[in-house]
Amino acid sequence: MTVYTNPLIVQRADPYIYKHTDGYYYFTASVPAYNLIEIRRAKTLEGLAHAAPRTIWRKHESGPMSQLIWAPEIHYIDGKWFIYFAAAETTALDQNGMFQHRMFCIECDNADPMRSEDDWIEHGQVETGMDSFSLDATCFEANDKLYYVWAQKDPDIKGNSNLYIAEMENPWTLKTKPVMVSKPEFDWETIGFWVNEGPAVIHRNGRFFLTYSASATDEHYAMGMLSIPDDQDLLDASNWSKSKTPVFQSDMATHQYGPGHNSFTVGEDGQTDILVYHCRDYTEIKGDPLYDPNRHTKVQAFTWNADGTPNFGKPVPYNYD
């Protein structure tokens, strides 16, 4: 099994890696200044570490897309590129003590998404029918339908964010009403903050597995998981099963703290499943953890248990000098 350099890319939180049909890996993530969206690509995962990033979109001077650009994800849907991200109009907190993010979508119909900033057009906010803090959108296809999964605050439910799913009319418009599939409820999901966020979806062994991250973004940050048989209605919350314990969490022995906000890709062999996530190697964070830049992108192969569920193991230790 390939051993990758870790961390693979320093100071890149909320990492997303997509392997395209052109043989390239495309990478995007939150940049520490939270002011733009960049893409880099390489033929290998290792190559991403040294690939030159290309800025393809910059925050607005004012308005809803002018502050705190978070967690971009790049997707290729029906021959076009789409990036989902969250942005706010201000860095101030609202009356509930929440940031004021909403979700947005941009599109590029050029075969090369890195060619020019001018190739990207804005579709504006992805409306969910709920006007509240929302972020961390991802999408996936199932049975020839496109689904959107994201995190959002419900003022009537304790906590920062729950996980929702909806079918999409197109990559920037929801077709159905949001269905909540998870909310913070277990002790490990409610340390520091009551949070379910950063969803990611992988389809294997007749099931869809939906991982997510919970608790505050310090050493308590950990990954949970929901699953559903792929022949059941994805929009029926009762069909989803939720793990009562974390599936991936800090390893104090190797100083790997707060692994989470993951995505999935595949190894260079086209078969090995790869977990992509961010992690810190220290716990003494000065000030707000949000503004500590040292959440680094890591990648590691994972295996599957006899019952068909993923076995993520532990965060691999840093292995670079």
Q: Which residues belong to the active site?
A: 14, 197
Pair of tokens at residue 276: 């992509």
Q: DSSP of 154-218, one letter per residue?
A: -TTSSSSBEEEEEEEEETTEESS--EEEE---SGGG-SSS-BEEEEEEEEETTEEEEEEEES-SS
Distance CA(233)–CA(31), nearest Å, equals 37
Which of 206, 212, 211 is CA-nearest to residue 232? 206
Find the length of the chain: 321
What is the H or E stretch that residue 5 is in?
none
Which among 181, 78, 166, 81 has a CA at the least distance from the CA of 127? 166
* Angle made by CA atoms 282, 15, 67, in degrees to the nearest 5: 90
For 177, residues 6+ apart whose C-beta sits below 8 A from its C-beta are 129, 166
